[in-house]
């Protein structure tokens, strides 16, 4: 096997990737798929490793999807480093990388959109109108291109994983979804490609998201059941750090993302915080 040294095959065109995957599929091999926007970190690589361990052929897509960014968001400055990403994926023994350009994904006259309602509406859906429409549309396109048996998503984008779960279920896609735990830096900051936006000083303050989530877990462990009290404690922690503003601090049902009135079962604590122009999100499943 020369796989590790030669690296993954890099595909720019849908037709070429399909041709590559056809013999794998014909031989009944299982295809694993990890969709990413590149700028890969250990969070992505944990998904890649799971796919490598559980399937016969791992496909990673690297595509900064313009349709999931709002007009004032960070599409233009989102980090792109295909060469480094290919090096990382070579080490993991990935079989194929799909890195299309925008004209391949959204050719002239493109006009079809997928909307997952319900779970897409609160939290990120309120802060980023149109975001999940872009996510659902591009994920469905990528699923149709790769036709994987299994796909891997990270729990850091928890709401996204619920949107994809609903998409798969509602549209009868024959795909198994695996959601893997958030990978964190030693100080607790959730790995994110957007962490690279942070100045060294902001980087050290960014641990406040994780601290607020730990505080919530601590209060629940102490028997606190009132979401208002817990959210207020979280907000105080976040706002005590200079340069922060809060998009949301929420305690919600982990299936529906609707607010809970009391912590009686597993509850998702979710936060979105702006820190010196960078928007960070994190979440933790609280177990009373």
Active site residues: 44
Handedness of CA 38, 35, 64, 129 (dihedral sign): negative
How far apart are alpha carbons 17 and 22 in whole angstroms?
9
Handedness of CA 91, 178, 279, 275 (dihedral sign): negative
How far apart are alpha carbons 155 and 165 in whole angstroms?
12
Task: Find the part of the chain contacting its own copies (CB under 8 A) among 68-76, 143-151, 187-195, 231-239.
Answer: 143-151
Nearer to its own copies, 119 or 251 (CB): 119
Query: Cβ 277 to its own copies, closest distance in Å?
Result: 34
Query: Cβ 133 to its own copies, closest distance in Å?
Result: 9
Q: What is the pattern of x (binds its own copies, CB under 8 A) and - over residues 63-102?
A: ----------------------------------------
Determine, following the binding rule CB under 8 A, whether residue 31 of this chain makes contact with its own copies: no
How far apart are alpha carbons 81 and 39 in whole angstroms?
6
Going from the C-alpha of 85 to that of each of 56, 76, 88, 145, 270, the distances in angstroms are 21, 19, 5, 21, 29
Determine, following the binding rule CB under 8 A, whether residue 172 of this chain makes contact with its own copies: yes
CB 232 within 8 A of CB 221: no
CB neighbours of 28 closer than 8 A, spacing ≥ 6? none
CB 234 within 8 A of CB 212: yes
Instruction: Please list every residue from 113 through 132 that binds its own copies, using CB under 8 A.
Output: 113-119
Residues in a beta bridge with 278: 275
Nearer to its own copies, 104 or 247 (CB): 104
Determine, following the binding rule CB under 8 A, whether residue 108 of this chain makes contact with its own copies: no
Nearer to its own copies, 26 or 53 (CB): 26
Query: Cβ 114 to its own copies, closest distance in Å?
Result: 5
Task: Find the part of the chain contacting its own copies (CB under 8 A) among 142-150, 194-202, 242-250, 280-288.
Answer: 142-150
Q: Binders of its own copies: how many residues, by CB under 8 A?
A: 28
Nearer to its own copies, 71 or 109 (CB): 109
Residues in a beta bridge with 285: 268
Beta strands in 198-243, from DSSP E residues, in sequence order: none
Contact footprint for its own copies (CB under 8 A): 14, 18, 26, 28, 109-119, 136, 140-141, 144-145, 147, 166-167, 170-174
């Amino acid at each position: 096997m020369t796989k590790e040294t030669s690296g993954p095959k890099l595909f720019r065109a849908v037709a070429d990737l399909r041709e590559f995957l056809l013999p794998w599929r014909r031989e009944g091999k299982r295809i694993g798929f990890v969709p990413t926007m590149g700028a890969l970190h250990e969070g992505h690589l944990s998904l890649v490793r799971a796919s490598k361990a559980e399937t016969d052929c791992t496909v990673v897509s690297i595509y900064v999807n313009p349709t999931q960014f709002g007009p004032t968001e960070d599409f233009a400055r989102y980090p792109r480093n295909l060469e480094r990403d290919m090096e990382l994926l070579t080490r993991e023994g990935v079989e194929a990388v799909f890195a299309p350009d925008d004209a391949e994904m959204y050719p002239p006259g493109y006009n079809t959109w997928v909307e997952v309602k319900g779970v897409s509406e609160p939290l990120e859906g309120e802060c980023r109108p149109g975001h999940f429409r872009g996510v659902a549309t591009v994920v469905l396109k990528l699923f149709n291109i790769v036709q994987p048996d299994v796909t891997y998503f990270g729990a850091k984008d928890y709401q996204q994983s619920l949107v994809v779960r609903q998409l798969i279920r509602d549209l009868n896609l024959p795909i198994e979804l695996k959601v893997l735990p958030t990978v964190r830096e030693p100080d607790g900051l959730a790995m994110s490609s957007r962490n690279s936006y942070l100045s060294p000083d902001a980087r050290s303050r960014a641990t406040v998201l994780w601290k607020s989530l730990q505080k919530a877990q601590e209060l629940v462990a102490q028997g606190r059941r009132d979401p208002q009290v817990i959210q207020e404690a979280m907000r105080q922690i976040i706002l005590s750090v200079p340069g922060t503003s809060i998009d949301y601090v929420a305690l919600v049902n982990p299936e529906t993302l609707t607010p809970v009135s009391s912590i009686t079962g597993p509850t998702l604590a979710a936060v979105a915080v702006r820190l010196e122009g960078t928007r960070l999100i994190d979440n933790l499943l609280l177990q009373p």
